Amino acid sequence: MYRNYTCGELRLEHAGQEPVLAGWVQTVRNLGAMTFIDIRDRYGITQLVADENTPAQLKEMFDKLGREFVIQVKGIVRERSSKNAKMATGEIELDIKELTVLNKAAVPPFTIQDDTDGGDELRMKFRYLDLRRETVRKNLELRAKMAHVVRNYLDDLKFIETETPVLMKSTPEGARDFVVPSRMNPNQFYALPQSPQIFKQLLMVAGFDRYYQIVKCFRDEDLRADRQPEFTQIDCEMSFVELEDVLNMFEGLARHMFKEIKEIDPGAFPRITWADAMENYGCDKPDIRFGMKFKNLTGVAKGKEFKVFDEAEYIVGICAPGCGEYTRKQMDALTEFVKRSQVGAKGLVYAKVNDDGTVKSSVDKFYTQEDLAKWCDILEAKPGDLILILSGERIRALSALSVLRLEMGRRCGLMNKENFKPLWVIDFPLLEWDEDSARFYAMHHPFTSPIPVDIPLLDTDPGKVRANAYDLVINGVEIGGGSVRIHDSELQAKMFKTLGFSKQEAENQFGFLMEAFKYGAPPHAGIAFGFDRLVSMFAGLDSIRDVIAFPKNNSGRDVMNDAPSEIAQVQLDELFLSLVAPKSKTL
């Protein structure tokens, strides 16, 4: 062992002892007669000192150390004259007696400090140096701890952690697969799993009863800031359960994580139907850290000669408390905000409630104070509040207001990252109508079961059928989702029929799982959590990239080791593949 203490371990009680430390040079302060060096390892930082009593040769070596040199040092622990209360080891320093340079270091391309001078790209290229920064390493340590907490919780509840194949069968439905050419089976390909969905359902057929896995999944999609080609799920499935059992089980898991990791109890998770979520928040993953619930003003705002509203299918507003003082400039900015193509509103109507209770609106010429008072009444607006109203086609208006609501939440400082407000969204529509192909699609996947009372609607009004599906949403982010699966083959057949599959098509695409179900499938249900997102949320970060040790950029590249890369012709030959020049495709 190159050390007998870590750099985070020494305290005043060790004074007089002569430990050996090893680590990286964090800083060098050469004050002439005295030199101070901070030595760093994963566990902390310890101050080393060489002074007039240090042998000249040793002092000289010490003075020559550069940042990030790897050193081993022996010294005597002594009390500091000026203590640093911010450091765990701040009461002591090490009077060095022996020094070995274990490795030199070139000057790093950015400073290894929490507030580094390195830009995003540079830090990704030298990720192994970026990971030296405490703030980055802490994220990865948190990730490891969360995995540990999840596993122990599920292990205790008799879930069997089971590894499912990474080299699996390519499926036509869903997102795009990454494929892996098979050398031993020429011209055939494996696919990397988008999720272990089929395998976990098979494990239920196999009687495993409770399964989980923290598992890498893959999707070949164009990337956004919070997407990675490979990502990690906490994947779970249970047998002989109903909706209530699954929600309770995994609410238990989530609360356990909050307790163990954040030391908070968010209380019982509210449940909200998809329809209510849309009505009240305009989206299926509402951020309920703050109110500003939507109110339908269609009834009271129409018929006053204001053409925009009169022609609108739906008029919907929110009340932003205390924003009545917004200036003209601020209001213009909000109007610009909603008109951006990402939000898509045509304009913004607002009304400010004055201190005397009167209302000043952007549509004063159409509405009397009495009319406006009705708006205030519905929106529970008080003096000093700001009413914001959008209108148009219902779904578009809801969706645009949902974005505006979040913007107002941000502006009002209501989105504290340490305030966690989880909820379940339930009763999703089972099916989505697609105009282009004039058919229904499964919103979740074709094995999601309908809510039992809605089953008759499959014949009469499929669009109204609600799914036995659920999402766990925390602070506006979908953290997990799942469903009770169909285990009854007659219901499954009806489902396929509703989706417009012929028997043959259903057989071709899902025959394998249907075959398995013939041999006695238990009722089962499951869920998958986005582990990267969950960690990122617990770490108070916006991007999942920061909780992944070696992430890829938006082009799916690892800029650190320059992957993907070309491969040798002999490899292509062995795989019976030839390359097509990208240009030839666009010609």
Q: Which of 189, 337, 366, 420 binds a copy of itself (CB under 8 A)?
A: 189
**Of 67 and 289, which has the nearer Cβ to a copy of itself?**
67
Which two tokens mark 28?
Answer: 């060098």
Residues 159-178 that bind a copy of itself (CB under 8 A): 160-170, 172, 176-178
Q: How far is the CB of 72 from a copy of itself (least distance, A)?
A: 8
The DSSP element (H or E) to which 351 belongs, if any, is strand 349-353
Residues 117-136 that bind a copy of itself (CB under 8 A): 126-132
Q: How far is the CB of 558 from a copy of itself (least distance, A)?
A: 7
**Of 70 and 443, which has the nearer Cβ to a copy of itself?**
70
CA angle at 117 for the pair 116 and 122, rounded to the nearest 5°: 100
Cα distances (angstroms) measured from residue 240 to each of 244, 357, 484, 575: 12, 58, 10, 44
Between strands 524-530 and 477-484, the pairing is antiparallel
Cα distances (angstroms) measured from residue 538 to each of 86, 254, 291, 420, 475: 24, 11, 22, 9, 11
User: Does 491 participate in binding a copy of itself (rule CB under 8 A)?
Assistant: no
Using CB under 8 A, count the residues that bind a copy of itself.
Answer: 127
**Of 253 and 379, which has the nearer Cβ to a copy of itself?**
253
Which two tokens mark 356?
Answer: 């005397």
Q: How far is the CB of 562 from a copy of itself (least distance, A)?
A: 7
User: Does 144 participate in binding a copy of itself (rule CB under 8 A)?
Assistant: yes
Q: Which of 31, 56, 453, 581 binds a copy of itself (CB under 8 A)?
A: 581
Q: At 580, give phi and psi (nearest 5°).
A: -110, 130
Residue 24 and residue 137 in contact, taking contact as beta carbons nearer than 8 Å:
no
Q: Which of 113, 182, 296, 362 binds a copy of itself (CB under 8 A)?
A: 182
Q: How far is the CB of 4 from a copy of itself (least distance, A)?
A: 10
User: Does 550 participate in binding a copy of itself (rule CB under 8 A)?
Assistant: yes
Q: Which of 36, 153, 208, 420 binds a copy of itself (CB under 8 A)?
A: 208
Q: Return the closest-CA partner of residue 92 out of 150, 9, 207, 183.
A: 9
Q: How would you class 461 by CB atoms within 10 Å of its CB: exposed for 0-12, middle for 13-18, buried for 19 or more? A: exposed
**Of 3 and 421, which has the nearer Cβ to a copy of itself?**
3
DSSP 187-242: T-EEE--S-SHHHHHHHHHTT--EEEEEEEEE------TT--SEEEEEEEEEES--
Q: How far is the CB of 456 from a copy of itself (least distance, A)?
A: 21
Q: How far is the CB of 131 from a copy of itself (least distance, A)?
A: 4
Q: Which of 179, 264, 268, 333 binds a copy of itself (CB under 8 A)?
A: 179
- Choose the stretch contacting a copy of itself; rule: CB under 8 A; options: 51-59, 151-159, 341-349, 352-360: 151-159
**Sign of the CA dihedral with 202 first, then 206, 208, and 214 last:** negative
**Of 130 and 454, which has the nearer Cβ to a copy of itself?**
130
Contacts by residues 541-548 (CB-CB < 8 Å, ≥ 24 positions apart):
541/139, 542/225, 542/226, 543/225, 543/226, 544/226, 544/227, 544/228, 544/231, 545/225, 545/228, 546/136, 546/139, 547/139, 547/140, 547/142, 547/143, 548/228
Residue 158 and residue 210 in contact, taking contact as beta carbons nearer than 8 Å:
yes
Which two tokens mark 378?
Answer: 């519905």
Q: How far is the CB of 212 from a copy of itself (least distance, A)?
A: 9
* Residues 14-43, mask of contacts with a copy of itself (x by CB under 8 A): --------xxx---------------xxxx
Q: How far is the CB of 233 from a copy of itself (least distance, A)?
A: 12
**Of 199 and 258, which has the nearer Cβ to a copy of itself?**
199
Reported as half-sphere exposure (CB side, CA atoms, 13 A), residue 314 has a value of 17
User: Does 202 participate in binding a copy of itself (rule CB under 8 A)?
Assistant: yes
Q: How far is the CB of 163 from a copy of itself (least distance, A)?
A: 6
Residues 241-300 that bind a copy of itself (CB under 8 A): 241-242, 245
Helices 328-339, 394-411: crossing angle, 10 deg rounding: 140
Q: How far is the CB of 25 from a copy of itself (least distance, A)?
A: 8
* Residues 503-542, mask of contacts with a copy of itself (x by CB under 8 A): ---------x---xxxxxxxx-------------------
Q: Which of 5, 218, 440, 496 binds a copy of itself (CB under 8 A)?
A: 218
**Of 104 and 503, which has the nearer Cβ to a copy of itself?**
104
Between strands 271-273 and 349-353, the pairing is unpaired
Residue 251 neighbours by CB distance under 10 Å: 17
Q: At 322, give phi and psi (nearest 5°).
A: 75, 10
Cα distances (angstroms) measured from residue 56 to each of 59, 78, 97, 290: 5, 20, 11, 64
The DSSP element (H or E) to which 135 belongs, if any, is helix 134-156
Q: How far is the CB of 69 from a copy of itself (least distance, A)?
A: 6
What letter does residue 453 receive in the DSSP assignment?
G
Q: Which of 487, 495, 528, 534 binds a copy of itself (CB under 8 A)?
A: 487
**Of 211 and 375, which has the nearer Cβ to a copy of itself?**
211
The end-to-end CA distance of the chain, in Å, is 63
**Of 179 and 268, which has the nearer Cβ to a copy of itself?**
179
**DSSP three-state, residue 33:** coil
User: Does 363 participate in binding a copy of itself (rule CB under 8 A)?
Assistant: no
Residues 54-73 that bind a copy of itself (CB under 8 A): 68-70, 72
Residue 526 and residue 237 in contact, taking contact as beta carbons nearer than 8 Å:
yes
Q: How far is the CB of 523 from a copy of itself (least distance, A)?
A: 6
Q: How far is the CB of 568 from a copy of itself (least distance, A)?
A: 7
Q: Return the closest-CA partner of residue 89 out of 146, 147, 23.
A: 23
* Residues 71-110, mask of contacts with a copy of itself (x by CB under 8 A): -x-----------------------------xxxxx-x--
**Of 278 and 535, which has the nearer Cβ to a copy of itself?**
535
- Choose the stretch contacting a copy of itself; rule: CB under 8 A; options: 75-83, 114-122, 315-323, 560-568: 560-568
